[in-house]
Amino acid sequence: MQANNLTLTSWVEVPEDSDFPIQNLPFGIFRTKSNPAPRVCTAIGDYAADLAVMNYLSLFDELEIGNEVFNNRYLNDLMALGKAKTNALRNRIASLLDAKNDEAKDLAWHFLHPMEKVEMLLPVKAGDYTDFYSSMEHATNVGAMFRDPAHALLPNWKHMPIGYHGRASSIVVSGTPIRRPLGQTLPDGADRPVFGPSRLLDFELEMAFVIGTPTSLGEQVTTAQAEDHIFGLMLFNDWSARDIQKWEYVPLGPFLGKNFASTISPWVVTLEALEPFRIGGPEQDPLPLPYLQYEGKKRFDVNLEVQIQPGGGEPFTVCRSNFKNMYWNMAQQLAHHTVGGCNLNTGDLCASGTISGSTPGSYGSMLELAWKGTKPLKLPDGTERKFILDGDTVIMKGWGKANGVRIGFGEATGKVLPALEY
């Protein structure tokens, strides 16, 4: 793929540590003060490039994509065009931004906007959202904390990608404040619940993939076909109220402890841009049922990081993990999701589940990092954290680096506001 050519450079200046070199070219939805209509853009260095204007300028004429696809509140119509078209678009953008091609250079003032002057909006309209539970380290930690450490994984865990149907309506874009939820909790030792703000508010470090090409009702997608349906990935913070979750989850699973908010990063990084980071494994023992077996490299080596920034303070890194810390890969998740005939629509999101590594500094939630509140984290300002406090901002970042080229996801951030009065 031309856009992935590691020797390409752009006539747009790209700082060395940028998430957005010419090899990335993610898609997003943005608007500006002077033009508040939402439209499709890509990122290059510290700039957002307005693809609606580039299409008006006839720069994509050979692709024959209607203006309405780019003058759009969401990426769904673009994603639904299919990979042949969207990959051709990404390659065309790469060619127009290539340092060796000055065809679009004189027009740049029409379509390039400094990133700090644009507002990034929720990029996809998700009709449905599914949350998996696919990091063995996370599932083992949670099982050890709440059940028997010797039998931390439940008997089904190594036989299928465990998941549940989440809530799509409360998915918000990075930067949206998060209100501490109210709900029922059962205080330790009490025999009846109380109502009030969650006291154990947590983040979950996850990646989400978005469906581009839909599947039809009754259609089973194989592990070999699955990636044809995955348009791209985002950072995903699956905010969780642990105390609400603990009281409500038996027997049907999480509900209000999970449905008040999830934060996604604004840039959808295409699966194609992540090609340099493919890796194989891990070995799966026992061997999964045939419909979950796969060939090739299906995991991705993407560094992940979580910071907590106290109100008025500096960001402090509390977790360094990696997207490769997944037992079940996206192709297996999608094959499992559809094996009973469930259809997936363009824009649907599937999140990985909390991505924890094997060392304490790589755990992807406060529940694990502070081990159920027994090992509080010390922040540089002298305060301690067992869970997330009002005024804290949680910042997630992700990037892969290969052969000197860094492909990043930007950030997924959310500041926690005090609960409403009740």
Q: Residue 30 has which token pair?
A: 């943005």
DSSP state of 220: P
CB-wise, 238 or 305, nearer to Ca ion?
238
Handedness of CA 246, 252, 255, 258 (dihedral sign): positive
User: Which residue lies nearer to Ca ion by CB, 59 or 412?
Assistant: 412
First-last CA distance in the chain: 55
**Per CB under 5 A, which of residues 98..157 are in contact with Ca ion?**
131
Catalytic residue among 110, 113, 138, 337: 138
Check: CB of residue 344 under 8 Å from CB of residue 123: no
Q: Tell me whether residue 131 or residue 248 sits nearer to Ca ion (CB atom).
A: 131
The DSSP call for residue 272 is G
19 or 238: whose CB is closer to Ca ion?
238
Q: What is the DSSP letter of 379?
A: P
DSSP state of 391: T
Adjacent-strand bridge partners of 130: 165, 350
CB 254 to Ca ion: min, Å: 8
Residue 156 CB, shortest distance to Ca ion, in Å, is 17
Minimum Å gap between C-beta 56 and Ca ion is 41
CB of 259 to Ca ion, least distance (A): 11
Least Å distance, CB 257 to Ca ion, is: 10
Q: Which is nearer to Ca ion, 253 or 380 (by Cβ)?
A: 253
Question: Nearest approach, Cβ of 131 to Ca ion (angstroms)?
Answer: 5
Measured from the CB atom, the residue of 76 and 365 that comes closer to Ca ion is 365
Number of neighbours of residue 1 by Cβ within 10 angstroms: 13
Stretch that binds Ca ion, among 58-66, 100-108, 196-204, 319-327 (CB under 5 A): 196-204
Kindly tell me which of 112 and 351 has the beta carbon lying closer to Ca ion: 351
Helix (H) or strand (E) holding 409: strand 405-417
CB of 367 to Ca ion, least distance (A): 11
For 174, 330, 368, the CA distances from 362, given in Å and listed in that order, are: 22, 21, 9
In whole angstroms, give the CA distance from residue 316 to residue 209: 27
- Of 116-124, 140-148, 198-206, 363-371, the window that binds Ca ion (rule: CB under 5 A) is 198-206
Can residue 202 be called a binding residue for Ca ion (CB under 5 A)? no
The residue number whose beta carbon is nearest to Ca ion equals: 238
CB atoms within 10 A of CB 67: 11
Which single residue is written with the structure tokens 């580039």? 54
Burial 6-40 (b: 16+ CB within 10 A, else e): eebebbbebeeebbbbbbbbbbbbbbeeeeeebbb
| # binding residues, Ca ion (CB under 5 A) | 3
Q: Based on the residue annotation, tell me whether 138 is a catalytic residue of this protein.
A: yes
Alpha helices per DSSP H over 154-241? none
Select from 202, 204, 305, 411 the one that contacts Ca ion (CB under 5 A): 204
Distance CA 392, CA 413 (A): 10
Which residues are CB-neighbours of 215 under 8 A, at least 6 positions away? 221, 229, 338, 343, 344
- Taking contact as CB under 5 A, which single stretch among the options 100-108, 176-184, 203-211, 293-301 is the one that binds Ca ion? 203-211
Among candidates 239, 232, 231, which has minimal Cα distance to 205? 239
Q: Between residues 174 and 245, which has the closer beta carbon with respect to Ca ion?
A: 245
Choose the binding region for Ca ion from 25-33, 49-57, 199-207, 302-310 (rule: CB under 5 A).
199-207
Chain centroid to CA 87: how far? Answer: 21
Measure Cα distances from 400 to 29, 182, 275, 303, 405 in Å: 23, 38, 10, 6, 8
Q: Name the residue with tokens 């989400």.
A: 208
Per-residue binding letters, 220-259, with Ca ion (x by CB under 5 A):
------------------x---------------------
The least CB distance from residue 159 to Ca ion, in Å, is 20
Cα 326-362-136 angle, rounded to 5 deg: 30
Binding site for Ca ion (CB under 5 A): 131, 204, 238
Residues noted as catalytic: 138
